[in-house]
């Protein structure tokens, strides 16, 4: 998170030619992810914790990333993630969940070999997940703030297109609210989350 201003400042300090001033669009999805959470009640009650494991390219919603390539080494841009899931249990409706994430990102690129470059990508994400009942009424909200880092490589497929596998770590916190906007179970609850895994990305420069 704190690396972003330095990436932008360092990139701007170098003069980029017209051919360097371009945009990268990237679709990024999980190959494997382990996410854990911890919820501590403010009244000194029980602590809840747990974890989930996601495997497979289509096991989670993809992220769309758009970055401005300041010069061959530095990039800065935005991230957008959207998911919409309707669940059924024994054939009956059990919930409708929508997730929206938006964030800022950047990248420092470095050459490894012919057709292969490494990159370090800081990430800051703000999100909201809404759960609705079968009538379409919202029953709960979860607001989250996550920050972390991707470390990966860009492997050239054709000119302007690369395959971008990476290792990712995200940490952060979240708060849950009921339909009336009251935090649950209470205002003093502390909830944190962390996730690590492998990402698969496809990016195009133009």
pLDDT of residue 43: 65
pLDDT of residue 42: 67
What pLDDT tens digit does each residue of the chain (206 aa) get? Answer: 444 444 444 444 444 443 554 999 999 999 999 999 898 876 666 778 888 888 877 667 789 999 999 999 999 999 999 887 766 666 665 677 888 999 999 999 999 999 999 999 999 999 999 988 877 788 889 999 999 999 999 999 999 999 999 999 999 999 989 888 888 877 778 899 999 999 999 999 98
pLDDT of residue 12: 47
pLDDT of residue 15: 42
Backbone angles phi, psi at 57, to 5 degrees: -60, -30
pLDDT of residue 134: 76
Alpha helices in the chain (DSSP H): 4-12
Beta strands in the chain (DSSP E): 22-40, 47-55, 63-71, 74-89, 92-113, 116-132, 138-158, 161-163, 166-178, 183-184, 190-205
Q: Strands 63-71, 74-89: parallel, antiparallel or unpaired by DSSP? A: antiparallel
State the architecture of 4-205 in CATH terms. Answer: Beta Barrel (2.40)
Q: Strands 63-71, 47-55: parallel, antiparallel or unpaired by DSSP? A: unpaired
pLDDT of residue 152: 98
How many Å apart are CA 100 and CA 79, to the nearest integer? 11
Integer CA distances (angstroms), 192 to 155, 172, 189, in order? 34, 6, 10
- Every domain of the chain and the residues it spans: 4-205
């Amino acid at each position: 998170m704190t690396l972003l201003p330095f990436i932008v400042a360092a990139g701007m300090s170098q003069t980029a030619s017209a051919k360097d001033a371009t945009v990268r669009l990237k679709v990024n999805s999980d190959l494997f992810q382990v996410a854990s959470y911890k919820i501590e009640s403010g009244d000194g009650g029980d602590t809840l914790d747990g974890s989930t494991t996601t495997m497979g390219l289509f096991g989670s919603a993809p992220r769309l990333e758009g970055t401005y390539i300041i010069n061959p080494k530095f990039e800065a841009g935005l991230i957008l993630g959207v998911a919409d899931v309707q669940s059924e249990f024994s054939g009956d409706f059990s919930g409708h969940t929508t997730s929206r994430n938006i964030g800022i990102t950047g990248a420092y690129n470095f050459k490894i070999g012919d057709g292969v470059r490494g990159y370090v990508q800081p990430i800051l994400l703000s999100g909201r997940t809404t759960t609705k009942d079968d009538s379409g009424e919202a029953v709960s909200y979860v607001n989250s703030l996550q920050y972390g880092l991707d470390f990966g490589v860009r492997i050239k497929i054709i000119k302007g297109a690369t395959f971008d596998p990476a290792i990712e770590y995200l940490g952060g916190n979240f708060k849950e609210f009921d339909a009336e906007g009251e935090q649950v179970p209470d205002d003093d609850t502390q909830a944190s989350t962390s996730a690590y895994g492998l990402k698969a990305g496809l990016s195009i420069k133009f």
